[in-house]
Amino acid sequence: MNRPVNVVLDIRQTSDPPTDAAELRELWTRVEKYLAGTSLRATEKVVVPLRDDQTCVLWIQDRLRAPDRVDDTTVFSIRGVLEPATVRHRCTTCSAAGVVTYGPFLCSGCDQGDQPGRVCDEHAVVIEGRMTATCARHRPACSCGAAATFWCNGELCRGRNAFCDRHRVGHPGGVDMSYCRDCFRQKFPDCAAQGCNSTGSIACEFVVDGRRATCGNAACARHAYRWQIFGPHKRGLGLCPEHALRLKSLEDRQIVFQIVAGTANRRRGPRTDNRRTYLRLPRLTIVRHIFINSRSRKLEIHSIDRMFGELQHDNRTDGVMRRLLQEHEKIRKEDLAAAERDGARGRELFDKLTAWLRARGRAEVANHISFADYRPRSNLLFVNVEPEYLGRFIGRGGAEKRAVSNDLGVRVEVERK
């Protein structure tokens, strides 16, 4: 069996090229008649004359293996056909003017039956903000009726609305990005502080209703307040100037509600090591310091735990807050147990303190002091001292307080009210 001769049929110079398989077979029949008795080893290009002074070209791919003489046993394998270029997608605008040009862009406004219209490079209109094109007739319009110049990709528009330059607001950083006025106000709100012209970069997270809706204001870094309810190493809740001042006037239960609701709104923490961390409610000891710092009030651990428990079993508490409180319940029990142990140890040290005072003839001072708090981590014993006995308890230059601290092995401090 003869090895087939691989050829490429070039019909680009043919003014009437075949359009289907039957016409291609008819063309190839004429080519085979012309090649009969010729040698294909002498050249890699064979020009085959056709009717009406037309020609086609046969490119021999493996000339060295071609037969010396083409006969009835020669087998050809057409590896490819080089056809004349045709414009499959014509520009709709140019076609209306009787001109044929290639339209690489789609214009949804120029419908052609079930196919979108096409636009050439000359008639394509591409406006800022989206890599799509239209013809000039179907260019997007602004809400005011003028021709649009950009698509707004802000949070409200999300690339669905186009605007003209009259409604354009540039990015404050000067980057090549624009917004409509509504999207700009949402992304770069004004600072809530009176008279401040800066951008409010920190949203206020103060909850204004039982559905955890926040106040909606924002403040710049200079006027915003960070309520550090999660400890010093985590980003606290942002508050605008108005609600930062309002913390001091809130009731105790309202403070607890703000802590739980703010944590629920900030449920998802930062991503670390491809894992999403989840914020938890602060421990009771931290909440105790929150009351001291925000309200100048020192509450008992049991009182704080009771307020968390009441909020947990309140029917008006939503599901996210209730799940947070349920997770927090185990930690609260641990904190209560630790508070009992620390309290017992603190009272033991306080009894040693009063005994130390009586042993040195200072029973009157011992009768006018009371136990306040004990912090085992820092080894601090806090006591309450009646004002008229404060000087006698501390001593000149703090000498008496230092002496009792050295003898008891614990640092004694006076509780500041």
Among 333, 345, 276, 268, smallest CA distance to 305 is for 333
Distance CA 152, CA 133 (A): 16
pLDDT computed for residue 203 by the predictor: 93
What sign has the CA pseudo-torsion 312, 257, 282, 349? negative
Confidence of residue 3 (pLDDT cuts 50, 70, 90): confident
Residue 31: pLDDT over 70: yes
Task: For residues 17 and 86, give the distance between their C-alpha atoms in angstroms, rounded to a whole number.
Answer: 11
Flag whether pLDDT at 53 surpasses 90.
no
* Average pLDDT of the residues in 106-128: 86
Q: How large a percentage of the chain has pLDDT more than 90?
A: 66
For residue 125, give the 3-state DSSP assignment.
Answer: strand
Q: Which of 14-18, 128-132, 164-168, 174-178 has the highest mean pLDDT?
A: 164-168
For residue 32, the Cα-to-chain-centroid distance in whole angstroms is: 67
Q: How far apart are CA 370 and CA 349, in angstroms?
A: 12
Residue-level pLDDT at 270: 54
Q: Which two tokens stand for residue 358?
A: 């009586």
Distance CA 283, CA 304 (A): 10
Quick check: 102 pLDDT over 80?
Answer: yes
Looking at the DSSP assignment, which residues form a beta bridge with residue 190?
199
The structure tokens listed for 192 are: 């809530």
Side-chain-facing half-sphere of 240: CA atoms under 13 Å: 23
Q: Are 390 and 417 in contact (CB under 8 A)?
A: no
Domains in the chain (CATH in brackets) are 5-82 (3.10.330), 92-184 (no CATH), 202-317 (no CATH), 343-414 (3.30.300.20)
So what's the pLDDT on residue 407? 93
* pLDDT confidence bin for 105, thresholds 50/70/90: very high
pLDDT at 5 over 60: yes
**CA of 7: how far to CAs of 64, 141, 143, 275, 291, in Å?**
13, 55, 61, 60, 90
pLDDT recorded at residue 274: 61
From the list 309, 318, 312, the residue with the least C-alpha distance to 210 is: 318
* Confidence at residue 120, expressed as pLDDT on a 0 to 100 scale: 94
- Flag whether pLDDT at 81 surpasses 70: yes
Residue 347 has pLDDT above 80, yes or no: yes
Q: What local confidence, expressed as pLDDT, does residue 66 receive?
A: 85
Tens digit of pLDDT for each residue in 388-404? 999 999 999 999 999 99
Say if CB 96 and CB 139 are below 8 A apart.
Answer: no
Out of 9-18, 53-62, 228-237, 267-276, pick the least confident: 267-276
Q: pTM of the full predicted structure?
A: 0.63
Please name the amino acid found at residue 59.
W
Alpha helices in 45-192 (DSSP H): 92-96, 181-187
Decide if 199 contacts 189 (C-beta within 8 A): yes
pLDDT of 352 reads 94
Q: Using an 8 Å Cβ cutoff, are 258 and 305 in contact?
A: no
> What mean pLDDT do residues 377-397 have?
92
Per-residue pLDDT, averaged over 66-89, amounts to 88
| 3-state secondary structure (DSSP) of residue 351 | helix
At CB < 8 A and 24+ separation, what contacts does 40-45 make? 40/5, 40/66, 40/67, 40/70, 41/66, 41/67, 41/68
pLDDT band at 63; cut points 50, 70, 90:
confident
Each residue of 243-289: pLDDT tens digit?
999 998 999 999 999 999 999 998 765 555 565 567 889 999 899 98
For range 298-319, the mean pLDDT:
93
What are the E-state strand segments in 83-211? 105-112, 115-119, 150-152, 161-163, 169-170, 178-179, 202-203
What is the rounded average pLDDT for all residues in the chain?
Answer: 90
Which of 34, 78, 73 lies closest to 60, judged by CA? 78
The pLDDT of 105-110, averaged and rounded, is 86
Q: How sure is the predictor about 417, in pLDDT bands with cuts at 50, 70 and 90? A: low
So what's the pLDDT on residue 169? Answer: 94
13 vs 401, which has greater pLDDT? 401
pLDDT of residue 17: 85
CB-based contact 241:222 (threshold 8 Å): no
Buried-exposed string 184-204: b where 16+ CB fall within 10 A, e elsewhere: beeebbebbbeeeeebbebbb
